[in-house]
Amino acid sequence: MLFNSILLLNKTYFGCYMVMKIPNLYFHFITCFFILYTANTMAQTGTYRLNTPSGAWCNIAITQNKQIITGEVFAWWNDAGDRVGSFEGNGKVQGNKCVLINTDHADCKIQLNFNKTNLHAIFNDCMSTNLPEDFSGRYRKINNHIPGTYTVAVNKAHFYKTAKLGLSLKAYLLKGDKVNIDLENIADANRVFINYKNALGKISSGYISWADLKPYR
């Protein structure tokens, strides 16, 4: 009787498969198989938000491409001057951590520590971009969407007055219409605020359901 074993082992799973050979016959059976998912990073593409006790808030949009993360940050100070902060940078993922840097703001470094559904951000020397350490903390994930250009994916995408449930407005967009979504307008998991200007120059504003949109390719 002869046993041949095959061991499968990589970063995402572990398993073993055994073949028992008897003259003229093969018996195949699985002796064990364990999924041990250990991705190199817990980073997840999407938008994350921190609300501070003072009423200020900050959004961080994350896009991951293999081991490289691109991050965009927008913060609103909630002060009399309507001061805001912004930053864009890139970094390489190491484990569940990444440091965003930008050569135009060499002193500013934003450390991101990821877990399954949230991230913890630490702002270091970022006052040149109006992003003090007050915006450090745990960010909850709003959704999997990021800023950019989207197209309407349904026949009619109605505007709503608020992000909450309610009656739609008369204004709507048609399938194929393109809209630009800014980071500061991403605040809700289900709807996003949009300013849309048509070919005649008329502007329609309101909330549109994320389900009615798809990324523009």
Give the tens place of pLDDT for each residue, 136-173.
999 999 999 999 999 999 999 999 999 987 889 999 99
Answer yes or no: same fold for 46-143 and 148-215.
no
Report the predicted TM-score, pTM, of the whole model to 2 decimal places.
0.80
CA distance 33 to 65: 30
Neighbour count for residue 72 (Cβ, 10 Å): 20
What pLDDT band is residue 28 in, cutting at 50, 70 and 90? very low
Residue 201 has pLDDT above 70, yes or no: yes
Rounded to an integer, the average pLDDT of 106-115 is 95
- Amino acid 217: pLDDT: 85
- Amino acid 38: pLDDT: 40
| Residue 24: partners with Cβ closer than 8 Å, 6 or more residues away | none
Q: Residue 56 in contact with residue 74, Cβ under 8 Å? A: no
Whether domain 46-143 has CATH 2.40.128: the reply is yes
Whether domain 148-215 has CATH 3.40.1010.10: the reply is no
Residue 105 has pLDDT above 90, yes or no: yes
What pLDDT band is residue 26 in, cutting at 50, 70 and 90? very low
Percentage, residues of the chain above pLDDT 90: 73
Burial class (CB in 10 A: 0-12, 13-18, 19+), 212: buried
Rounded to an integer, the average pLDDT of 36-64 is 82
* Secondary structure of 104-131 in HEC code, one letter for each residue: HHCCCEEEEEECCCEEEEEEECCHHHCC
CA distance 5 to 139: 47
- Average confidence score pLDDT of the chain: 85
Domain ranges within the chain, ordered by starting residue: 2-34, 46-143, 148-215
